Amino acid sequence: MISIENALQKITQQQVGLRKKEVSLENSIGYWLADTIRAPFDLPAFDNSAMDGYAVCGLQETYEIIGEVAAGDTGNKTLVEGKAIRIFTGGKVPENTSAVVMQEKTEVDGNTLKVLMELKANQNVRPKGGELSNGQEVFQQGQHITAATVGLIGSLGFDQVSVFKKPSIRLISTGNELVPPGKPLSSGQIYESNSYAIVSALKKYDFECAEKQQIKDNYNQIKEGIADYLAKSDVLLLSGGISVGDYDYVKEALEENGVEEVFYKIAQKPGKPLYFGRKGHKFVFALPGNPASSLTCFYIYVLPLLQQMSGANAAGLPRIKTPLTHSFELKGDRPAFLKARLEASEVSILDGQSSSMIHSMALANALVLLEPGIYNESDNVTCIIL
């Protein structure tokens, strides 16, 4: 049995081969950038108006209006002292503009513009290069592509993005008792829910499960299922059958398939019997079958490796130190990941922490990582944000 830190270290130490590909801008969300992006021009590329109003030359009270610039007009207009040009948001400001005055602060009488406020030089002008200058580094390699990232890359004119490929992932759930949701259930059987939770967690963090299957507690079938999926995948996830029961065949079946153990069993609650192994460039996690164990192990151990394999420059869920809203005692001798609710920078540990229970996890937005011991209200604890 190894410690949580040791297990995480063994995962982050794994050599992963990164591969690049080009994707269209609209399909780039959720990937990680394979190349540094530099601005190919100043952004904005020209001085433009932040308001609907009037571009004026000289700072005075009245001007003569001599023309108009709408957003998208490409001509060059020039102002001289005492003249104004009607302008709209995003419109290219004329040469010699001293400021743009918003239309709400003006009165117009024929061609005469009266300004109802004190103007300041360059007011309401968005300057060329005000956000980014030509050649400036915009994003580093490994940056996660969010909606705003896509927006900025698009505003720089790129319609293709160089990203790292993501791992191909497959999932096997094992257990004689498991019945897929939607089917009738006999006494002694339970609904198979782990694969749905794991596939959903993959989706939430921008990964995809290429295929999943459910296998009975049958050594040969498990062995063949592993062989088939392992051949097709970069990462194989299994749920159940990794503990010490008579029908827990997963570990042996992995060994039989040439998977080498990196670690098995972590001193933690829930999720003690987590298995992590490797075969060449392929990785295997066998997650314990209890629903809260499998999902916790996914968040804490599987996710960082998937992010690493996708070129992410930051792996794992964010961790903060935050005060407890109540006192708490963690009994036993293993550290625990406890389902918790983070509200207004304070965290409360929820009821129903058994590894077989998933309700508290569904209500949680964080996990609190505690060493065994007694904690008082306001004690700062490590909070992992889900």
Q: Which residues bind ligand AMP (CB under 6 A)?
A: 173, 175, 177-178, 190, 192-195, 239-241, 243, 245, 248, 288-291, 356
Q: Is 381 helix (H, G, I), strand (E, B) or coil?
A: strand
Question: Which residues in 165-204 contact Mg ion (CB under 5 A)?
Answer: 175
139, two tokens: 């994003």
- Minimum distance of Mg ion from residue 175's CB (angstroms): 4
- Minimum distance of ligand AMP from residue 159's CB (angstroms): 42
- Minimum distance of Mg ion from residue 360's CB (angstroms): 22
For 8-42, letters b (16+ CB in 10 Å) and e give beebeeeebeeeeeebebeebebbbbbeebebeeb
273 vs 289 by CB, closer to Mg ion: 289
The dihedral region occupied by 188, where left means phi > 0, alpha psi between -120 and 50, and beta the remainder, is left
288 part of the interface to Mg ion, by CB under 5 A: no
Question: Which residues in 84-113 contact Mg ion (CB under 5 A)?
Answer: none
Phi, psi angle pair for 255, to nearest 5°:
-60, -45
CA distance 67 to 62: 15
Placement of tokens 């060449």 in the chain: 280
- Minimum distance of ligand AMP from residue 177's CB (angstroms): 5
Number of residues that bind Mg ion (CB under 5 A): 4
Q: Can you name the residues that pair with 96 across neighbouring β-strands?
A: none
Q: Which of 289, 227, 229 is nearest to 255 (CA)?
A: 227
Contacting range for Mg ion; rule: CB under 5 A; set: 41-49, 254-262, 287-295, 330-338: 287-295
241 vs 311 by CB, closer to Mg ion: 241
- Minimum distance of Mg ion from residue 40's CB (angstroms): 56
Contacting range for Mg ion; rule: CB under 5 A; set: 61-69, 127-135, 236-244, 275-283: 236-244
291 vs 304 by CB, closer to ligand AMP: 291
Query: For residue 337, what are the CA distances in angstroms to 191, 340, 363, 367?
Result: 25, 9, 15, 6
CA distance 30 to 260: 31
79 vs 172 by CB, closer to ligand AMP: 172
Cα of 310 vs its chain's centroid, Å: 12
The residue whose Cβ lies closest to ligand AMP is 289
Q: Report what 48 binds from ligand AMP, Mg ion, none; CB cut-off 5-8 Å by kind.
A: none
130 vs 245 by CB, closer to Mg ion: 245
Number of other residues whose CB lies within 10 A of the CB of residue 231: 11
Placement of tokens 């490409």 in the chain: 74
Q: Report what 73 binds from ligand AMP, Mg ion, none; CB cut-off 5-8 Å by kind.
A: none
Interface with Mg ion (CB under 5 A): 175, 240-241, 289
